């Protein structure tokens, strides 16, 4: 329905009002208090109304004064017969009592509210008759606008009282959602559907994994649903989304559930685990009075784990809540972190349907980040950069991780890889209890002790290449650390709290083993441990097992010229390490982005020359490489893709011009220089620079091999505007191919034959400029 149709429907709705007292007055009684700067509204209709059906006090726009407004309501249109309105305006001049008789006032302003039109002639005559009075007319269309803004549920099929309650619940929930957002300065709400599964053990007999469930179906079928999830999995966000859903009139009418949100702490402490007390406190009496019998209250209870109770007591409290909700013939949704006591408590399994929030799938994580990027008005290529990152698969797949990542996008949108360390730093702080410190559930001593102990554990794991250790051995690190310090902490209690509240480690009680959920957490804490001392920079920087630890080590320092110089100075010892250097050197540079920029300039120059040398060594057969099975053009495409993905960030843009000039000074081999500048050019292309290949053609055109020229043609073929140098090169290559069948055959081999068989007679490794120039003359 378009805007015009909606307005016509709303006009019809107002025209249908037949009883001023029973229909229009209740509407105004709800609408007037919601209007800006209105402080208090009194309903004065009756024998002592003295002209005004309502009187309200309103703060002045500019001064600390209070205006008193009399509201006169009328059904239908006001055209010629307005004598009754004149009488009421005149009566409004007398002094009256306000604020339950505690204050004497005079009305300073009068509003005439009508459900129909008010003709211009009627307005002019009334203004002329009462020149000394401020009279404002609110006709049908203005009234519709006010209702749209302050009381939108009036237009639905929900009763006035229920509609107002739903709107108030929705508004409050919306404000809470925005205030709880981790995205600073962003007001728009969005939600990515989360995956919920039945919380039950893997059935070894049937090999049937837990089934995916629909939360609305479960709420419809069950009396109480308990939603469990790890830290940062989005439990509270899911509950706020449910409040948003069930406070929308159309879904209220469909499900016949009236939402009542409350925290678990208030439910237990303030309302003594009594659902009826929650309803009495949260739902106004007039709403409870008009609620149809078939409509049930839906209690949405958040944060079981925020109630400071032992695990067994928490489980008992949830059982008590579930039984009380069912006994009152209500429904409930309760959220909590996963708790081992829930598994053991058989009454809980009978009283509530347990479901689990699973980590976001890769597709959902990408969808989540894309929505966040749109919210921040960031370029979609950032998501592509992230997906192309080697660390993407290691990203914790929770909403909070995605939000933290989006925050980093927003703060430093063009240098994502340099900030993955910060993402891990923030995420692991939250996982170790930084949030709980802020909530008062943990002491700072516990958090700092855990941080140090987990660093020691990471060193032990990585240095000894361990995948897991025994639970007893893990507890030994807690005992050892705390015995040597007078912190007043109990090792067993701290270990138990750590494994129950931290989602980066996993404890298998049946097998008696302790391990980290992912190696990247190990690598981060290993780097964090050595950031307090010194990590030896050696050949490990080009080894897959160690490269992420060194990446985090640089990222934690940020400004570390000596460390970067040492890494750059470690020479690769074989082809594998040469590839590792090409791929990971830009990550090291981005991680240390606060270091002096001349390091990045020199490193970019060196890396492009090394890339050119590596390409030539493989293409010429100097290196017996597994890549030799590819045709030259395919291999060149792979090389340029690695280069542009590694260095295609805004951070390196300033270094490109320096490197382009420096390459010529540092390299005597013109062919290698041209290839190095070609790789620089594709980085510029990735950064959306103009005429990226002009410098290459101006300075190295005669030194370029045919596959490089073909590469340039591929890179520029879709450009709307191509430079004259590109056009001339394209025409020259095109004429040469047209004139020479052997050359065409050789070009075909560049695309199809492995490099070992790609040979060209001496002097034919590039298109002859001299011959082409003669033919063109």
SS (H, E, C) 433-487: CHHHHHHCCCCHHHHHHHHHHHHHHHHHHHHCCCCCEEHHHHHHHHHHHHHCCCC
Find tokens 């981060």 and name the residue: 524
Bridge partners of residue 299, in order along the sequence: 260, 332
Cα separation of 293 and 282, whole Å? Answer: 18
CA distances from 146 to 25, 28, 109, 629 (A): 15, 10, 18, 73
Cα separation of 96 and 50, whole Å? Answer: 8
Per-residue pLDDT tens digits for 700-746 = 888 898 999 998 988 888 777 888 998 899 899 889 889 999 998 99
Instruction: Quote the pLDDT of residue 772.
Output: 40
Instruction: Quote the pLDDT of residue 535.
Output: 93
Beta carbons of 483 and 428 less than 8 angstroms apart: no
**Per-residue confidence band for 777, with pLDDT thresholds at 50, 70 and 90:** very low
Beta carbons of 306 and 334 less than 8 angstroms apart: no
| Max mean pLDDT range (156-165, 381-390, 447-456) | 447-456
Under DSSP, the state recorded for 208 is B
Find tokens 């070009």 and name the residue: 747
Sheet with 54-59, edge to edge strand ranges:
38-43, 54-59, 66-74, 109-114, 135-138
User: What is the pLDDT of the chain when averaged over all its residues?
Assistant: 83
Query: Does domain 3-155 bear CATH number 3.30.450.20?
Result: no
Cα-flanking dihedrals φ and ψ of residue 225, to 5°?
-120, 125
Strands 109-114, 103-105: pairing is unpaired
Cα separation of 739 and 737, whole Å? Answer: 5
Cα-flanking dihedrals φ and ψ of residue 355, to 5°?
-130, 155
Strands 96-98, 66-74: pairing is unpaired
C-alpha 677: how far from its chain's center? 38
Three-state secondary-structure class, residue 343 = helix
Lowest mean pLDDT among 6-15, 216-225, 683-692: 6-15
Statement: residue 572 has pLDDT above 90: yes
Output the six-digit token pair for 150.
């302050």
Cα-flanking dihedrals φ and ψ of residue 428, to 5°?
-70, -30
Query: What would the CATH number be for the domain defined by 162-358?
Result: 3.40.50
CA dihedral angle for residue 183, residue 245, residue 328, residue 336, rounded to 10 degrees: -30
Statement: residue 183 has pLDDT above 60: no
What is the b/e burial string over 321-345, where b = at least 16 CB atoms within 10 angstroms of the residue's CB? Answer: bbbbbbebebbbbbbbbbbebbeeb
Beta carbons of 26 and 53 less than 8 angstroms apart: no
**Per-residue confidence band for 221, with pLDDT thresholds at 50, 70 and 90:** very high
Three-state secondary-structure class, residue 490 = coil
Sheet with 331-337, edge to edge strand ranges:
212-213, 196-198, 353-357, 224-229, 331-337, 296-302, 257-263
Lowest mean pLDDT among 26-35, 232-241, 433-442: 433-442
Statement: residue 146 has pLDDT above 70: yes
Instruction: Quote the pLDDT of residue 382.
Output: 54
Instruction: Quote the pLDDT of residue 107.
Output: 92
Output the six-digit token pair for 688.
């959306």
Beta carbons of 83 and 34 less than 8 angstroms apart: no
C-alpha 90: how far from its chain's center? 59
Residue spans per domain, the chain: 3-155, 162-358, 428-533, 596-776
Three-state secondary-structure class, residue 69 = strand
Statement: residue 180 has pLDDT above 90: no
Output the six-digit token pair for 486.
């007078």
Greatest CA separation found in the chain?
Answer: 113
> What pTM does this model have?
0.57
Statement: residue 378 has pLDDT above 60: no
Neighbours of 187 (CB within 10 A): 9
Instruction: Quote the pLDDT of residue 457.
Output: 95
Cα-flanking dihedrals φ and ψ of residue 453, to 5°?
-65, -40
Statement: residue 386 has pLDDT above 80: no
Q: Which of 740, 737, 758, 761 is nearest to 633 (CA)?
A: 758
Neighbours of 203 (CB within 10 A): 10
Beta carbons of 646 and 586 less than 8 angstroms apart: yes
| Burial (Cβ within 10 Å: 0-12, 13-18, ≥19) of residue 315 | buried
């Amino acid at each position: 329905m378009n805007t015009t149709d909606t307005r016509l429907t709303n006009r019809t709705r107002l025209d249908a009002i037949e009883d001023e007292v029973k229909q229009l007055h209740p509407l105004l009684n709800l609408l007037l208090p919601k209007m800006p700067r209105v402080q208090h509204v009194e309903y004065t209709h009756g024998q002592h109304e003295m002209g005004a059906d309502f009187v309200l006090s309103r703060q002045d726009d500019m001064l600390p004064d209070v205006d008193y407004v009399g509201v006169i309501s009328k059904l239908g249109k006001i055209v010629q017969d307005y004598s009754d309105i004149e009488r009421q305006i005149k009566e409004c001049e007398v002094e009256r009592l306000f604020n339950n008789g505690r204050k004497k006032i005079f009305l300073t302003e009068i509003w005439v509210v009508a459900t129909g039109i008010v003709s211009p002639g009627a307005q002019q005559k009334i203004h002329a008759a009462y020149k000394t009075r401020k009279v404002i007319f609110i006709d049908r269309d203005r009234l519709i606008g006010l209702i749209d803004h302050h009381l939108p549920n009036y237009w639905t099929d929900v009763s006035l009282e229920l509609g107002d309650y739903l709107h108030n619940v929705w508004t409050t929930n919306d404000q809470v959602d925005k205030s709880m957002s981790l995205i600073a300065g962003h007001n728009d709400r969005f939600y990515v559907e989360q995956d919920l599964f039945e919380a039950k053990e893997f059935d070894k007999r049937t090999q049937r994994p837990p089934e995916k469930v629909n939360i609305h179906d479960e709420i419809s079928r069950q009396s109480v649903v308990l939603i469990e999830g790890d830290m940062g999995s989005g439990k509270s966000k899911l509950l706020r989304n449910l409040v948003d859903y069930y406070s929308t009139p159309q879904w209220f009418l469909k499900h016949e559930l009236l939402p009542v949100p409350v925290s678990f702490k208030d439910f237990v402490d303030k309302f003594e685990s009594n659902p009826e007390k929650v309803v009495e406190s949260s739902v106004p009496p007039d709403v409870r009075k008009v609620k149809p019998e078939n409509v049930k209250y839906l209690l949405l209870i958040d944060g079981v784990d925020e109630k400071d109770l032992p695990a067994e007591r928490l489980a008992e409290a949830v059982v008590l809540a579930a039984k009380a909700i069912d006994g009152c013939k209500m429904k409930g949704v309760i959220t909590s972190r996963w708790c081992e006591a829930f598994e053991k408590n058989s009454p809980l399994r009978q009283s509530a349907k347990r479901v689990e929030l699973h980590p976001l799938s890769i597709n959902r994580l990408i969808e989540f980040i894309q929505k966040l990027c749109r919210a921040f008005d960031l370029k979609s290529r950032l998501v592509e950069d992230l997906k192309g990152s080697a660390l993407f698969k290691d990203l914790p797949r929770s909403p909070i991780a995605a939000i933290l990542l989006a925050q980093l996008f927003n703060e430093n949108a063009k240098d994502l890889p340099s900030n993955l360390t910060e993402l891990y730093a923030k995420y692991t702080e939250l996982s170790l209890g930084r949030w709980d410190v802020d909530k008062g559930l943990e002491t700072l001593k516990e958090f700092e002790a855990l941080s140090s102990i987990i660093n020691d554990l990471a060193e032990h794991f990585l240095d000894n290449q361990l995948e897991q250790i025994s639970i007893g051995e893990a507890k030994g690190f807690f005992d050892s650390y705390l015995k040597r310090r007078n912190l007043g902490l109990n090792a067993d209690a701290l270990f138990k709290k750590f494994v129950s509240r931290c989602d980066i480690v996993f404890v298998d009680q049946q097998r008696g083993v302790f391990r980290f959920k992912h190696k990247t957490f190990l690598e981060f804490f290993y780097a964090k441990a050595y950031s307090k001392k010194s990590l030896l920079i050696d050949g490990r920087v080009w080894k897959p097992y160690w490269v992420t630890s060194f990446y985090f080590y640089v990222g934690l320092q940020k400004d570390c010229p000596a460390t970067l110089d040492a890494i750059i100075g470690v020479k690769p010892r074989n082809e594998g390490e040469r590839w590792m250097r090409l791929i990971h050197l830009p990550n090291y540079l981005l991680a240390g982005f606060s270091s002096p920029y001349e390091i990045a300039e020199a490193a970019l120059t060196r890396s492009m020359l090394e890339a050119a040398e590596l390409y030539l060594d493989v293409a010429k057969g100097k290196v017996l490489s597994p890549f030799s099975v590819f045709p030259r053009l395919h291999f060149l495409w792979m090389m340029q893709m690695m280069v542009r993905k590694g260095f295609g960030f805004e951070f390196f843009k300033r270094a490109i011009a320096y490197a382009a000039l420096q390459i010529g000074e540092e390299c005597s081999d013109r062919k290698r220089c041209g290839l190095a500048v070609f790789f620089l050019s594709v980085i510029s292309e990735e950064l959306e620079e103009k005429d990226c290949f002009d410098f290459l053609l101006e300075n190295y055109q005669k030194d370029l091999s045919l596959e490089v020229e073909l590469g340039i043609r591929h890179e520029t073929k879709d450009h709307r505007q191509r430079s004259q140098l590109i056009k001339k090169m394209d025409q020259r290559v095109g004429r040469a191919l047209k004139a020479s069948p052997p050359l065409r055959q050789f070009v075909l081999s560049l695309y199809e034959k492995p490099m070992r068989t790609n040979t060209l007679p001496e002097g034919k490794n590039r298109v002859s400029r001299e011959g082409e120039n003669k033919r063109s003359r």
